[in-house]
A and B are shown apart, each in its own frame.
Chain A
Amino acid sequence: MIEVENLTKRYGPTLAVSDVSFQVQKGEILGFLGPNGAGKTTTMRIITGFLSASAGRVRVAGFDVAEAPMEAKKRLGYLPENPPVYTDMTVAEYLAFVGRIKGVPRGELKKRIGEVSEKCAIADVQQRQIGRLSKGYRQRVGLAQALIHNPDVLILDEPTSGLDPKQIIETRELIKGLAGQHTVILSTHILPEVSKTCQRVVVINKGTVVAVGAPDELTARLQGYGTVLVTVEGPAPEIMGKLQTVRGVNLVEPLEAAGARVTLEVHTEKNYDVRAELARAVVESGWGLFELKTSGMSLEDIFLKLTTRDLSEEAAAQAELPAASGEAVN
């Protein structure tokens, strides 16, 4: 549904987006992650036709955004980071205007406004001037305008920003409900949201794609080792020595000590569960076992790891990860 090929955007000497490629299947929700300044918004602006690319191509529903902009834009709904609302219009006026310019047939306009307002919970503020609405309401009006013409593709830049927790959950449900019917690219900083709503994720940093794949795939791929946290009461050096001997354990590191108890971080072989053996080792030696749990890599860790590595690590990582572009061709 969306094909981004070798997208590059240059601003004078700076390369904002460099050779970015990925695809989104029909009905999929793709998460777009990256630190600030990574090129997410620039990429989205190129996909929606706001900016022109310096090189590369974007196709939406088969239409090249640069060569057939009218056709592509008819099928696109876009919510930028700041909802593009006219503050002097009322909600109803605004939605009517957007509906008209997006090509909603005159006869259906009123119905569509009603439907989309219900969906986005703005039915009760139809006659209020947008300038007088709270940020949360404005955000929802922005979402409504992206949906009003029932586009095939939705590009959402931080759709839950400014919303309260209840609204965030509602919006998340709304977006999840869109999968299947609509194809969605969702850019966000809120990482837990990604694992809850997105089926696949593209991680972008400094203008290049760093990783593509399903959130758990990435976790599995990037976790070079398993981690188990164990809290034991007893003499630290001896405990560490004993645990080191357990099969599958690579490294034992002390984390913290509280009185006689010490918490250790045990690095194990990938995908090997040493917990039972660790427990046995501790108990058989006569020490008190207080806590034992696995501690995996959260999406935050993945994100940070992917986006703060230095160049030498990157070279090593390239060898380790399957090529990102290979992954992108579904």
Chain B
Amino acid sequence: MRNILTVAGKELRSYFHSPIAYLVMAVYAVLCGFFFYSFTATYVVQTFRMQAMGGAGMPNMTINDYVIRPLFEGVLAIVLLLLIPMITMRLYAEEKRSGTIELLLTSPLTDLQIILGKFLGAFLLFGTMIVITFGFISTLFIYGNPFAKPLIAQAVGLILFGGALLALGMWISTFTKNQIIAAVVSFAAFLLFYVLNWVTAYSNGAVSRVLAYMSLTTHFSTFAKGVVDLKDLVYYLSVIVLGIFLTARSVEALKGRV
């Protein structure tokens, strides 16, 4: 356990020693902020218009439905697809490039300790991004009256979604010494998983439904609605475990061939 924390600490320190951490957080804050502003502004204007028209026959527009949920579903899912590869790209690629992987693998650390340590470090950086998100959302409470309960589900969904992407990104980073390749391949893979969802637009057979189920983003929708469904929980946790398992196998292969 102590080893896992040591490795996680090293990863975090490395992140903040380079411009990457700050860049990722800044880009995230800007994008998130821009969309948050747009959604909130639209909401404000539309509710005013509705009130002016007497509010008859119009659906009940809650802040949750019109600001928070679109923010999670639309922005976060997509923005994270781009930014998480930037976090995971260095996890193994940089160690391989600089030769420090030799230090880690010849020290009395199990492969799993190293993997979990790196995952934890990356996850904590991701955690700062979540904090930024909730920073924005908390302002809604000052000026409006959104429901608080759905936010819990949305937070859980975000954490799991990010975790799944982090695990897969870490796995992809074990294949190359080049961080850019790791980032690009991760992004491509995430995008592919995202559009698996679209299959249902033109096909309704058994295969297409399986593919749609496999998409990383379909499961996020239920969380975004404010519901914690067991099957989605299991899905994301399985992907996280899969990512870690695949990373372990990849590291073993590394030791067999280098």
Contact = CB atoms under 8 A, between A and B. Distances in A.
Contacts of A89: 10, 13-14, 17
A89 B7 CA distance: 13
Contacts, number: 70
B102 A97 contact: no
A73 B98 CA distance: 21
B108 A84 contact: no
B106 A50 contact: yes
B6 A97 contact: yes
B255 A85 contact: no
A88 B17 contact: yes
B255 A70 contact: no
B18 A78 contact: no
Interface string B96-120: 0011111111111110000000000
A51 B255 contact: yes
Contacts of B99: 80, 82, 84
Given A45-B258, A97-B10, A86 B106 contact: no
Contacts of A103: 108
B6 A84 contact: no
Interface residues of B, number: 26
Interface string A68-101: 0111011010101010111111000100011011
A52 B106 contact: no
A98 B103 contact: yes
Contacts of A49: 105-106
A101 B3 contact: yes
A80 B102 contact: yes
Interface in A40-74: 45, 48-52, 69-71, 73-74
Nearest to A106: B2
Given A51-B256, A73-B106, A84 B13 contact: no
A187 to B, nearest CB: 14
A74 B3 CA distance: 13
A48 B107 CA distance: 9
B149 interface: no
Given A86-B100, A97-B10, A100-B6, A48 B106 contact: yes
Interface of A: 11, 45, 48-52, 69-71, 73-74, 76, 78, 80, 82, 84-89, 93, 97-98, 100-103, 145
SS of B interface (majority): helix
A70 B6 contact: no
A93 B255 contact: no
B231 interface: no
A103 B13 CA distance: 20
A70 B105 contact: no
Contacts of B10: 86, 89, 97
B107 to A, nearest CB: 5
A101 B109 contact: yes
28 contacts: A48-B106, A49-B106, A50-B102, A50-B258, A51-B255, A52-B255, A69-B108, A70-B108, A70-B110, A73-B107, A78-B106, A84-B98, A84-B99, A84-B101, A85-B98, A85-B100, A87-B98, A88-B18, A89-B17, A97-B10, A98-B107, A100-B2, A100-B3, A100-B6, A101-B3, A101-B109, A103-B108, A145-B103
A101 B18 contact: no
Nearest to A74: B108
Nearest to B2: A100
Nearest to A71: B108
Contacts of A101: 3, 6-7, 104, 107-109
A187 B100 CA distance: 20
Contacts of B18: 88
Contacts of A45: 102, 258
Nearest to B107: A101
Given A73-B108, A74-B108, A93 B13 contact: yes
